Copies of this chain bind each other. A is one copy, B any other.
């Protein structure tokens, strides 16, 4: 499975994998794909450095990348002024905090122990945190820097290019994609409606070719709804130079969700058990539908706050829900392909299935096309 882009990066399969777990990213790179480590959960630069050290040791010189989150739209702040985390926290209305407490109380969610850190606290949405992550990342031989929300700032793009690092950005529409192209981005990830995490409303079947046309000759990766070799063949038939998979790795044996109950929920969920909700970050992100997402999506509730306020508001609550495995509330970002994630397998097994399924799909399409030589 080779495209111009996969040849440029020197990888065997044009399969890119986004994952918050270094063990998964490294395993995918070793399996001939391209692992991309999600950085958003690293608040402390030294934690990221530790995990990138580990990645270096476990990828044998094969290429991998890093994914940061720099929202294109920021919290309103006076010009040239960066708000501190405390100042941002102060913008959260008390009514919303009360709603969090009430929802947790309704389900009897215990408090964290005194002094116990909120493991799920995500501050990587904050530009300064992302910039600190980049200061670390550019010390490592990463080959790709991806940004999940909007085009990275011009100085970040320039810095990446100075380091010989390709820059990718996710796009949910052709308009986003054109904006990325104008910002000097090298690769556009077309993130369809069915994808896990932040996503728009245009499905991959329509979005992928639209983005390919919008940014040609820039390479496009198809993301959203891809978890099998047939789906890879479909994404590539739509003009992509590779595929970008996130959800499928959540049930890899190398993944560490810190919750067997959550893994069990993922293995049991069907394709209809996700929802696009602002509950987690303030922007629409596909995730398991739970009573937690229902509470935030309920018109009778207070509704969600804009990013990054919503993420800060719910961080401790999500940590408690995960720690105590409160089943009706327990969720995670995941795409509609969760319906196909029915067994835990190693990353290598997943890649083997993907490549075998791809070859079968190519056989099938050749039979339909009447290519006698196929």
Using a CB–CB cutoff of 8 Å, the interface residues on chain A facing chain B are: 1-3, 14, 173-174, 192-194, 200-207, 209-210, 224-226, 228, 230-231, 233-239, 270-272, 299, 335-337, 339-340, 358-359, 361-362, 364-366, 368-371, 373-374
A1, A201, A234, A340 — most chain B CB neighbours (10 Å) = A234
| Cα of A339 to Cα of B225 in the assembled complex, Å | 21
Q: A236 CB to closest chain B CB, in angstroms?
A: 5
* Chain B residues in 8 Å Cβ range of A365: 233, 236-237, 362, 365
Residue of B nearest to A239 (CB): B230
Q: How many copies, total?
A: 2
Closest B residue to A1 using CB positions:
B368
Query: Complex Cα distance A210/B339, Å?
Result: 8
Q: Are B237 and A206 in contact (CB under 8 A)?
A: no
**Contact A205-B233, Cβ < 8 Å, known A366-B374, A368-B3, A369-B358:** no
Known: A206-B231, A210-B339, A234-B235. 14 other contacts (CB 8 A): A193-B194, A203-B204, A203-B205, A203-B225, A204-B205, A205-B226, A206-B340, A209-B228, A234-B237, A237-B362, A237-B364, A237-B365, A238-B361, A299-B299
Q: Which residues of B contact A206 (CB under 8 A)?
A: 194, 225, 231, 271, 335-337, 339-340
Q: How far is the CB of A78 from chain B (nearest CB, A)?
A: 33
Q: Closest B-chain residue to A371, C-beta based? A: B374
Q: Is the beta-carbon distance between A234 and B205 smaller than 8 angstroms?
A: yes
Contacts of A371 in B (CB 8 A): 362, 366, 374
- B-chain residues with CB within 8 Å of residue A337 when the two chains form the complex: 206
Looking at A203, A207, A359, A373, the one whose CB has the most chain B CB atoms below 10 A away is A203
- Contacts A2-B368, A236-B364, A366-B374; A209 near B193 (Cβ below 8 A): no
Known: A1-B368, A374-B374. A361 touches B205 (CB 8 A): no
Instruction: Verify A1–B203 contact, CB threshold 8 A.
Output: no
When C-beta atoms are compared, the residue in chain B nearest to A299 turns out to be B299
Q: How far is the CA of A234 from the CA of B337 in the complex (A)?
A: 16
Which residues in B have their C-beta under 8 angstroms from that of A364? 236-237, 239
Residue of B nearest to A274 (CB): B201
Q: Assess the A203–B201 pair: CB atoms within 8 A.
A: no
Which residues on the B side are within 8 Å of A233 (C-beta)? Answer: 234, 237, 365
A selection of 6 A-B contacts at a CB cut-off of 8 Å is A192-B205, A203-B205, A203-B225, A205-B225, A206-B225, A209-B340
- Roughly how many angstroms separate A238 CA and B225 CA in the complex, as a whole number? 11
Q: A224 to chain B: closest CB distance in Å?
A: 7
Contacts of A234 in B (CB 8 A): 205, 233-235, 237-238
How far does the Cβ of A7 sit from chain B's closest Cβ, in whole Å? 11
Chain B min CB distance to A338 (Å): 9
In the assembled complex, the CB of A172 is this many whole angstroms from the nearest CB of chain B, namely: 9
Expressed in whole angstroms, the minimum distance between the Cβ of A343 and any Cβ of chain B is 15
Given contacts A271-B207, A271-B210, A368-B3, A202 and B237 within 8 Å (CB-CB): no
Query: A234–B210 Cα gap in the complex (Å)?
Result: 14
Q: Which residues of B contact A270 (CB under 8 A)?
A: 174
Complex CA–CA separation, A270 to B203 (angstroms): 13
